[in-house]
């Protein structure tokens, strides 16, 4: 094979989410033809990340430390615990600048079709955390998908039985969203969960 | 920084074509959380490819050999030379199983807006190849985009003046294509370039 290396690279690129055979081919040729420096950086970044990155022992997120910076920060309010599905979702919450409590990253969601149940998510660890005496409110910020909703429902049942306060982030019309372009399910929910205006 | 390695990985992933900040973040978390084996393979494949892959000295394509397998094959018809923009396009031609001549890969197209002219494409190398005495017909298989068309036009002018036979792949309604869904420019061309049916 004169192109074993290229074929191996194309095949290897397919481990990236959302990358099929066509994109992988295009990416491989791009790297080899137009951006060898970028390819070298990417190769090194992957090797380094594989060595350095692990899970925070408190919140599960990906970090290079035993306990991540957010969990270790004295500026965070330890009475609030926000539950998200992934580290990406945690970053989205952080970008709002509206939350100053701590996090618990599920690293997944309950999804029976994918063989993911409460056990795989190690929800007993979340239960232990939520009942450690410091947490007063658990804010569920899982996605508003079927799986995210099922996960939120399961966690609510689990925590309520232990007397922990549980809330769920609101759902409705996106800020800046026009009714014309919002799907009717969202609009129906926004109507159902309408709130009284002050004043 | 507790996440220097992760940030570096996210940044490095952006060298891939079509990957913006959001996708890069998703990819990095996916690799670190769900597919460390895939990440390791990808890292190795990149390092290996960077060392092994270079350009074929005859046709320009990416290969691990001095002269690629296709150029070296005695089964290929050396009187036909197909000009394509990229190695990916060459693969597309090969997949038709309808072509058995040789190739010349431009590794680009004439695109004044990107500062790419005839000189950057080293078209004199193509000219030398096309006038080596073996080639009887140069088949232009550049894209039917503005740049691909300009490139084809430039090459045609260059080769015609040297008395080399030049053809262009046909354009028209895609096989399996329905007129209802074909853009009107394509349809107009398909009408203009209609051919007489035998029988």
pLDDT tens digits for range A68-119: 999 999 999 999 999 999 998 888 888 888 889 999 999 888 888 888 888 8
**Residue B1: predicted pLDDT:** 43
**Residue A28: predicted pLDDT:** 95
> Which positions in chain A touch B86 (Cβ < 8 Å)?
29, 33
B152 vs A172: which has the higher pLDDT: B152
Task: Write b or e for each residue in B162-195: b if 16 or more Cβ atoms lie within 10 A of its Cβ, otherwise e.
Answer: eebebebeeebeeeeeeeeeeeeebeeebeeeee
Average pLDDT over every residue of A152-161? 91
The three-class DSSP label of residue A63 is: strand
A195 vs A126: which has the higher pLDDT: A126
Mean pLDDT of chain B: 88
**Residue A198: predicted pLDDT:** 62
Q: Does A30 touch chain B (CB under 8 A)?
A: yes
In angstroms, rounded to a whole number, what is the distance separating the alpha carbons of residues B27 and B35? 10
Rounded to two decimals, the ipTM of the complex is 0.72
**Residue A134: predicted pLDDT:** 92
Q: Is the pLDDT of residue A197 over 70?
A: no
**Residue B197: predicted pLDDT:** 62
Host H or E run for residue A149: helix A146-160
Q: How far is B57 from chain A (nearest CA, A)?
A: 14
Q: Does A38 touch chain B (CB under 8 A)?
A: yes
**Residue B199: predicted pLDDT:** 56
> Which positions in chain B touch A25 (Cβ < 8 Å)?
88, 91
The answer to whether B173 and B180 have CB atoms below 8 angstroms apart is: no
Average pLDDT over every residue of B93-118? 87
A148 vs A39: which has the higher pLDDT: A39
Average pLDDT over every residue of B149-178? 86
**Residue B37: predicted pLDDT:** 96
pTM of the model: 0.73
Q: Which of B36, B42, B49 sits opposite A32 (nearest CB)?
A: B49
pLDDT tens digits along A18-40: 999 999 999 999 999 999 999 99
Q: Could you give the count of Cα atoms lying within 13 Å of A77 in the half-sphere of its Cβ?
A: 12
CB spacing of B62 vs A33 below 8 angstroms? yes
Any residues with CB less than 8 A from the CB of B31 and at least 6 apart, and which?
A: A15, A16, A46, A49, B9, B38, B39, B42
């Amino acid at each position: 094979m004169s192109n074993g290396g290229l074929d191996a690279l194309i095949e290897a690129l397919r481990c990236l989410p959302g990358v099929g055979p066509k994109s992988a081919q295009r990416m491989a040729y791009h790297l080899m033809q137009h951006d060898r420096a970028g390819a070298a950086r990417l190769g090194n970044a992957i090797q380094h990340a594989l060595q350095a990155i692990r899970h925070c022992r408190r919140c599960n997120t990906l970090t290079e430390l035993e306990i991540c910076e957010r969990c270790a920060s004295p500026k965070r309010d330890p009475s609030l615990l926000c539950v998200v599905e992934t580290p990406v979702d945690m970053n989205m919450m952080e970008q709002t600048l509206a939350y100053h409590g701590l996090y618990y990253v599920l690293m997944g969601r309950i999804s029976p079709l994918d063989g993911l149940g409460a056990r795989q998510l190690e929800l007993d660890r979340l239960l232990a955390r939520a009942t450690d005496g410091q947490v007063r409110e658990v804010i569920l910020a899982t996605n508003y998908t079927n799986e995210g909703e099922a996960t939120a429902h399961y966690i609510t049942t689990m925590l309520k039985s232990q007397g922990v306060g549980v809330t769920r982030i609101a759902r409705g019309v996106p800020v800046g969203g026009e009714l014309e372009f919002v799907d009717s399910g969202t609009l129906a929910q926004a109507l159902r969960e309408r709130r009284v205006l002050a004043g």
